[in-house]
Amino acid sequence: VAVGDAVPWQVVDHYENPRNVGSLDRNAKNVGTGLVGAPACGDVMKLQVEVDENGRIVDARFKTFGCGSAIASSSLATEWVKGKTVDEALKIKNTDIAKELCLPPVKLHCSMLAEDAIKAALADYKLKQDPNKEESEKKA
């Protein structure tokens, strides 16, 4: 955090009281894991979702190594995906995250990283549910 730049209190809140830090069992069939990185700043973000038999996300965890805005974005993302269906969660946009956290322009890429992490986790979950895809990959 640069000296002199006001950090939005929302970011500080997520940084000091992060929600849902941790891991889920990545080998569980109903757990999707997204692992993404931002090459420009070197931040890494892991986001995991646990989905029930009705396609609804019942739990989410994250681990992020990077700036406060990246941590806050992923923390907020785990809060938002809980209770949503997979398709609803796919609709979460980085602009919504950035707005909620009052991210300054220079930190908008952090919210984009969180959106990408959600999508990666859900894509991983979907892949695990679809045996057909595994079949075609075996043939390839």
Q: Nearer Cβ to other proteins, position 43 or 50? A: 43
The answer to whether residue 102 is catalytic is no
| Catalytic status, residue 110 | yes
Q: Give residues in contact with other proteins (CB under 8 A).
A: 34-44, 46, 63, 65-66, 109, 112-113, 116, 120
Choose the catalytic residue: 41, 44, 90, 123.
Answer: 41
Half-sphere exposure of 140 (CA within 13 A, CB side): 6
Is residue 115 within 8 Å of 38, Cβ to Cβ? no
Residue (42 or 83) nearer to other proteins, CB: 42
Q: For the beta carbon of residue 108, count every other beta carbon within 10 angstroms.
A: 16
Q: Which residue's CB is nearer to other proteins, number 96 or number 116? A: 116
**Cβ proximity to other proteins, 52 vs 134, nearer residue:** 134
Catalytic site residue from 97, 98, 110, 113: 110
The nearest distance, CB 74 to other proteins, in angstroms, is 13
Name the minimum Å distance from CB 70 to other proteins: 11
Distance CA 97, CA 41 (A): 19
User: Minimum CB separation from other proteins for residue 52, in Å?
Assistant: 25
**Neighbour-count burial for 44-55, b at 16+ CB within 10 Å, e otherwise:** ebbbbbbbeeee
For the annotated catalytic residues, the residue numbers are 41, 110
